[in-house]
Amino acid sequence: MVSCLDDLPITELKGVGEKVAEKLKRLNIVSVADMLFHLPFRHEDRSTLLPIGALQPGQASLFEGRIELAEVVFRGRRSMLLRLSDDTGFINIRFFHFSNSQKQMFKRGQWLRCYGDVRSAGNGAGLGVVHPEYQLITLAQRGQFEKGLLAVYPVTEGVNQTTIRKLLAQAFHLLQQGARVRELLPEALSIDKGFPSLIDSLQQLHYPETMPSEDVSETPAFKRLITEELLAHHLSLSRLKAGLQTYPAPCFKSKELLPQRFLQQLGFSLTAAQQRVVAEISGDLALNQPMQRLLQGDVGSGKTVVAALAALSAIEAGYQVALMAPTELLAEQHLANFKTWLEPLGIKVACLLGRYKGKENQLTLDDIRLGGSDIVIGTQALFQQKVEFCKLALVIIDEQHRFGVQQRLALRDKGVLDGMQPHQLVMTATPIPRTLAMLGYADLDLSIIDELPPGRTAVTTSVLSVAKRQLIIERIKQGVADGRQVYWVCTLVEESEVLQCQAAEVAAELLRSCLPELNIGLVHGRMKAEEKQAMMTSFKAHAMHILVATTVIEVGVDVPNASLMIIENAERLGLAQLHQLRGRVGRGQRASHCVLMYKGPLSENANERLSIMRETTDGFKIAQKDMQLRGPGELLGKRQAGFMRFKVADVERDAAVLESLAEMADETLQHQPQLVEPLIHRWLGNSVEYAQV
């Protein structure tokens, strides 16, 4: 009977007992098919065997030699040192990790074939290689090896390259004997795209005939695997979306009385982009299936007003709203805004933060449980087990990239009872490139606020060396004389000689000594939340000229009169964070400026980041460049990046494949749902447990 390798345990392969199987599980290898999908990250050309005398430092090389010396040495760190020689010279081999069995096999006179990075051993000791791949050979086997390309794989402790290659050879032998691996791409798609079979594609990946070129992704075999992997990622979230849509949700048949009263008291009109997004959200809330919408808008585009209008629709229909922010500072900023906006309309606004304790906190919890609070604003404290809502029907999550998907779903589970699900609106001021949004947020419909409100002023950005600090201080002095307020942002709370960063406390003292006539405040992450909020309130009330801060002010801080920002050690921050910080100025009528102060010498990457910040304020261009420099996983946030670790795909390079993914995923879900679970398991393993509904 022909076996299916997807169902064949890895323990069926020779050499895989219980202990080895446990180690392979760390690489997400449980079945023989998992072994086939454990893909190489590079190939090495081992077609040339070099004499030891011809080896050059800085090159990965294949060579053979006889052990002349083998000893365990204790020079700073315990290691095993071998000296190999042939007729042309000698080379030192060093192992920092070795077993007793290795000590026994490394005897004088034994021949080894080695492959590794050759380097200069220093101090006139000749050349050396640390932890090469090696093979014991006899004198008669010298020069007899299989020439060609060799794949290099991810490994784990106790599982080396040789083990992986032996197991793969067994797996491919089973395929030659008639075993199979499930073809999970829809057949019509494979025919339409001219894809080779899955087995042929895997063969080309593991055992290419020629060294793969940089444009290998254009070959049909790679395109097939790229398409399958991206489809698996898309399906993991599409399934989540489809599953949620099978649940009912409350319909907000609003009379629009509260939203209209709110707009009348605002004192300004919504932009066309805000009006368009409000209409999209209102359309979702009128349906009896849960809204799952991502609201994306650049810094200062007016997302909070849109969120308030969505909240009013729910409250007018008799339901509760929860708004979750990533930091207490941002939560309290939202609290202040929503109290100002909504309490005049007779709406009760409550707040839940991790630091709230005691009787007063219990009264708040009771009020939420009994339905006395209409909108509850807080941090992750909102989805603690002790928090119970009476009729939660709308969940709003701000700066959603800072939360993992699990956290988002945990708050959803607090929603209304009787089988219904709450609506969800998640917001981000980190612009997400379209290709990444298509994949990373496939469970969400997308709304974009793509214009800034009138009155937002452009921020000019300059890049200056720390050597010009005194010039910058003079500029601050002049700015304050003109009525401006200033942010001075540091990247660390404490001095660090290693990173050579200016600490916030030291910066504040320096500014006080240089500008004794000015009021200078300080805010950082180690202060109590009440102290931070008091400092921010004081700054907003013009009681201070300069606020020295760490990156705690990255999001949510709104001080219209602050029109000058200095960012120390700007070379240490990513583009998204620099863009967020810069968005704290330019909120009033004055022309605003941001100075990126750096300590040289700059790396090529850092120089590129600072140049981009100087050239543009377009958040989408910055996000696109950020993805190129840092990769999609980091842009989404580390907690959420598990499903963005690709084996063969690349979000930017494979944008053309992404264009057709949504339709491909929908067709698979509707017409071949039996393929979904195997596809997700094959490419994502256990990294998408959150996608279970």
List the chain domain ranges: 1-47+150-180, 48-146, 257-449, 459-616
Give residue 346's identity as a one-letter amino acid code. Answer: G
The pLDDT assigned to 596 comes to: 95
pLDDT(637) > 50: no
257-449 against 459-616: fold identical: yes
Mean pLDDT, range 39-48, rounded to an integer: 84
Distance from C-alpha of 166 to C-alpha of 188, rounded to nearest angstrom: 35
Rounded to whole angstroms, the Cα distance separating 216 from 22 reads: 34
Where is pLDDT greater, at 513 or 524? 513
Could you please state the CATH topology (level 3) that the domain comprising 48-146 is classified under. Answer: OB fold (Dihydrolipoamide Acetyltransferase, E2P) (2.40.50)
Residue 502 has pLDDT above 80, yes or no: no
- Please say whether the beta carbons of 649 and 242 come within 8 A: no
Q: Which of 187-201, 213-227, 363-377 has the lowest mean pLDDT?
A: 213-227
Between the alpha carbon of residue 424 and those of residues 322, 323, 410, 688, the distances in Å are: 10, 10, 12, 20
pLDDT at position 256, please? Answer: 75
Q: Structurally, what CATH architecture does the domain formed by 257-449 represent?
A: 3-Layer(aba) Sandwich (3.40)
- Average pLDDT score over residue span 373-381: 92
Report the range of poorest mean pLDDT among 22-31, 175-184, 303-312, 547-556: 547-556
- For the stretch 390-435, pLDDT in tens is 999 999 998 755 565 566 666 677 776 777 889 999 888 766 666 6
Burial status of residue 249 (CB atoms within 10 A of its CB: 0-12, 13-18, 19 or more): buried
Does residue 127 contact residue 91 with C-beta atoms inside 8 Å? yes
pLDDT score for 631? 55
CATH number of 1-47+150-180: 1.10.150
Residue closest to 377 by CA, chosen among 328, 430, 319, 340: 328
- At CA 553, angle to CA 550 and CA 559, rounded to 5? 130
- The alpha carbons of the chain give a radius of gyration, in whole angstroms, of 30
Between 168-177, 630-639, 667-676, the lowest mean confidence (pLDDT) is in 630-639
State the angle between helix axes of 619-630 and 604-615 in degrees (0 to 180), rounded to the nearest 10. Answer: 170
Place of tokens 């053979």: 64
| pLDDT for residue 665 is more than 70 | yes
Half-sphere exposure at residue 369, Cβ-oriented, CA atoms within 13 angstroms: 10
The arithmetic mean of pLDDT across residues 306-332, rounded, is 90
228 burial via Cβ count (<10 Å: 0-12, 13-18, 19+): buried
Cis, bond preceding 433 (omega within 30 deg of 0): no
pLDDT in tens, 607-619: 989 999 999 888 8
Q: How confident is the model at residue 272 (pLDDT cuts 50, 70, 90)?
A: very high
Is 459-616 in CATH node 3.40.50.300? yes
Mean confidence (pLDDT) of the chain: 84
Report the pLDDT averaged over residues 257-280.
91
By CB atoms closer than 10 A (0-12, 13-18, 19+), residue 165 is: middle
First-to-final CA distance of the chain:
36
Whether residue 83 has pLDDT greater than 90: yes
Judge contact between 484 and 564, C-beta under 8 A: yes
Does the structure show a pLDDT above 50 at 501? no
Per-residue pLDDT, 148: 78
Query: Among 104-113, 376-385, 437-446, 533-542, whose mean pLDDT is lowest?
Result: 437-446
Closest CA to 202 of 174, 217, 221, 183: 221
CA nearest to 691, candidates 238, 83, 213: 238
